[in-house]
Chain A
Amino acid sequence: MTRNPQLNRNGELTHLLTLEGLPYEIVTQILDTAEPFVSIAEREVKKVPLLRGKAMFNLFFENSTRTRTTFEIAAKRLSADVINLNIGVSSTSKGETLLDTVDNLCAMNADLFVVRHSQSGAPHLIASHLNATGRTHVHVVNAGDGRHAHPTQGLLDLYTIRHYKKEFRDLTVAIVGDILHSRVARSLIHGLTTMQVPRVRVIGPRTLLPTAVEALGVEVVNDMREGLRGCDVVVMLRLQNERMKGALLPSAGEYFKHYGLTAEKLALAKPDAIVMHPGPMNRGVEIDSTVADGARSVILPQVTFGIAVRMAVLSIVAGN
């Protein structure tokens, strides 16, 4: 199999494409680097000069407000110049290929690409292209590709878990919902297994679980109540509207009854269990408002940590 293009010959992270196969040490380095960045936000001057003079392009081939904004804030706090490209209405709609777009932006001296694409593997294609053409000083950070990966989300989830639980080694983590279509779930699963979390459960109806998902090192549970028992962390996934229209699920109501997180179901988890969600939430579909806004919800801190984690990723990748 070809080498993962995200590591250079010295094993250093030059692109962040996936958490799969990323060494424990690098994940820990990213989480540790993020810690001091959290407090920067509380300062009067919310900036450090680590990426001064660097140009970061937000290359979003799929709509996103939240992820794009957090990357933009992260880059600006590192003093980088940020250029947002709304690809949906520019080059590719005129027939330009993905790699032509990248080459053109490289000619404008881009240093970093933050890429979101509806096709799994698109950031790998860009990174391989840059590596193959000797442009090793240009870096790619995957901001979500198809169903494949959303590594910065996975890292901010790990950061949040470490923040509240301190250690990974005795935890039981449940990931609930649409695992099949979820890049968030895949990245989190790889992150948790790398950090040696002993029990990772995926919970959902069989129409929303991928084939052979056990091979990723998780237990599969169809019954949410059974799956939540004894959990330290409950991660709820967003259920996209188009999944509720009958082919995969009969109705949003039935989904909520069986897989929506309510206070009553959460009571089956450990008393100090935390509740996470990558956002944006569908209240009343996958999560009840009393839980989303409740004392055990860490959904908003996730967003705050997300900026620090993205600062850590950008500064590490650009420094290698």
Chain B
Amino acid sequence: MRIEIRNGRLVDPAQGVDRIGSLFVGDGVIEGFVERPRSFEADRVIDATGCVVSPGFVDLAARLREPGLEHKATLESELAAAAAGGVTSLACPPDTDPPLDEPGLVQMLKHRARQIGIAHVYPVGALTVGLKGTTLTEMGELTEAGCVAFSQADEPVNDTLMLQRALQYAGTFGHRVWLRPQDPFLAQGGIAHDGEVATRLGLPGIPVAAETLALAKLFGLVRSTGVGVHLCRLSSAAGVEMVRAAKGEGLPITCDVDVHHLHLCDIDIGWFDARANLMPPLRSTRDREALQRGVQDGTIDAICSDHAPVDEDGKQVPFGEAAPGASALELLLPLTLQWAAALQISLGDALARITTKPASILGLEVPSLATGMPADVCVFDPTQPWTVRAEALRSQGKNTPFLGLEVVGRMRATLLGGHVVHES
């Protein structure tokens, strides 16, 4: 099938291009950028007038809940959500049940995802067996099975010597280790940002120091081992400042923030709204502003969804008993656009945070609309408003703190390897 995506606004961060034109897709790859290739005859034309055409998005954290947590979501439901959100490549954290600590599990996941065939799935392997922080996984085998990086998801490695060895061993195979910076002792029992809101509501707090101490420890280990670390889900202004300084020092680190922390703060908990129970906790308005600025100046490399579908039963309980997390694959674009609009950032620069930058963290070929590149492409209307409602989400998890809010930016079509995998 040859597809002509006609007369769209072609925004390609990799080429630094933003212009009106058509894209010619055939046989899995982009055959023509603006220029119609000789003898190209479209089987199908997608009219992209008024729409943006960009490379498919790359999400650094999307939980698909398989294996083991199918009551929350399945690969089918969540990959459909990815396609509906324009996400063509996603990394899934190892916190499944059992965790992704064995090659067989990873192969099965890759196999299932390929069969469904609507998004590329890149498993992040468990750094330690069972994510327990005590025994190294077979990272060599896991790499061969398809793991692109290693992580503890939200679980800690309490023992610093163990953590150092995990970095060294992952480094042996050329991997960066992905870690969410949080001191497990300071975070113990906490469910909300340790500040005025938590004090008012009587919710046990997690102080900012839990993040800054973990960062200081990790930077020390990065210096001593030389192994790079990707920092997941930064949450505080002090954390952003430390990452800025560490990057200035030249440490091999990268960093992401999720869409929730870019837009929400602890005040959004309201009267114990369990949908705002997220990990790391939503912090203060000051922290949120620092995160927004951090993405703008490149201290934070990428924006991710931190998609974590939770079933209704997981949220219809008191705040402290709720399962943390929210569905966000379908909100990655609108919330990135909202960030860009608030800080007056160009569309190309905004899309880089969800395409080229995360791709380079994942070690993927830099996504682009250039001729010869894989035809993973999004077509979206950047001005169309829509309201986030449970029935509007493809994800099996209908919980998001953005429910009821109007956002802007609607996917019209998503192509994976030249095939239309989503249309609306």
Contacts and interface: CB of A to CB of B under 8 A. Distances in A.
B418 interface: no
A119 B204 CA distance: 10
Nearest to A117: B318
A5 interface: yes
Given A97-B313, A120-B318, A146-B320, A216 B201 contact: no
Contacts of B267: 1
Given A97-B316, A120-B202, A120-B320, A125 B272 contact: yes
A310 interface: no
Count chain B CB atoms within 10 A of each CB in A117, A183, A210 and give the residue with the most: A210
Given A5-B271, A120-B318, A124-B271, A211 B202 contact: no
Contacts of B203: 120-121, 146-148
B199 interface: yes
Contact of B318 (A125, A147, A149, A183): A125
A215 B199 contact: yes
Interface residues of A, number: 30
Interface in B188-220: 194-196, 198-205, 207
B319 A2 contact: no
A149 B202 contact: yes
Interface of A: 1-2, 4-5, 20, 97-99, 117, 119-122, 124-125, 128-129, 145-149, 183, 186, 210-213, 215-216
A212 to B, nearest CB: 4
Nearest to B194: A211
Given A1-B267, A124-B271, A216 B319 contact: no
Given A119-B319, A213-B199, 20 more contacts: A2-B271, A20-B200, A98-B317, A98-B318, A99-B316, A119-B318, A121-B272, A121-B318, A125-B272, A128-B271, A146-B203, A147-B202, A148-B203, A149-B202, A183-B202, A210-B198, A211-B194, A211-B195, A211-B196, A211-B207
Given A210-B199, A211-B199, A216-B199, A120 B313 contact: no
B47 interface: no
Contacts of A186: 200, 202
Interface string B30-72: 0000000000000000000000000000000000000000000
Contacts of A183: 202
B97 interface: no
B273 interface: yes
Contacts of A122: 318
A109 to B, nearest CB: 23
24 contacts: A1-B268, A2-B271, A2-B273, A97-B317, A98-B317, A120-B201, A120-B202, A121-B203, A121-B271, A121-B320, A124-B271, A125-B317, A145-B202, A148-B201, A149-B202, A186-B200, A211-B198, A211-B205, A211-B207, A212-B195, A212-B196, A213-B199, A215-B196, A216-B200
Nearest to A3: B271
B321 interface: yes
Interface of B: 194-196, 198-205, 207, 267-268, 270-274, 313, 316-321
A106 to B, nearest CB: 15
Contacts of B274: 125
B272 A120 contact: yes
A147 B203 CA distance: 7
A17 to B, nearest CB: 8
B320 A119 contact: yes
A215 B199 CA distance: 9
A185 B318 CA distance: 21
Contacts of B199: 210-213, 215-216
A129 B201 CA distance: 19
A113 to B, nearest CB: 14
A245 B313 CA distance: 36
Count chain B CB atoms within 10 A of each CB in A148, A183, A213 and give the residue with the most: A148
A180 B199 CA distance: 8
B272 A124 contact: yes
Contacts of B202: 120, 145-149, 183, 186
Nearest to A4: B271
A183 B267 CA distance: 20
Contacts of B271: 1-2, 4-5, 121, 124, 128
Contacts of B318: 98, 117, 119-122, 125
A215 B197 CA distance: 9
A154 B274 CA distance: 26
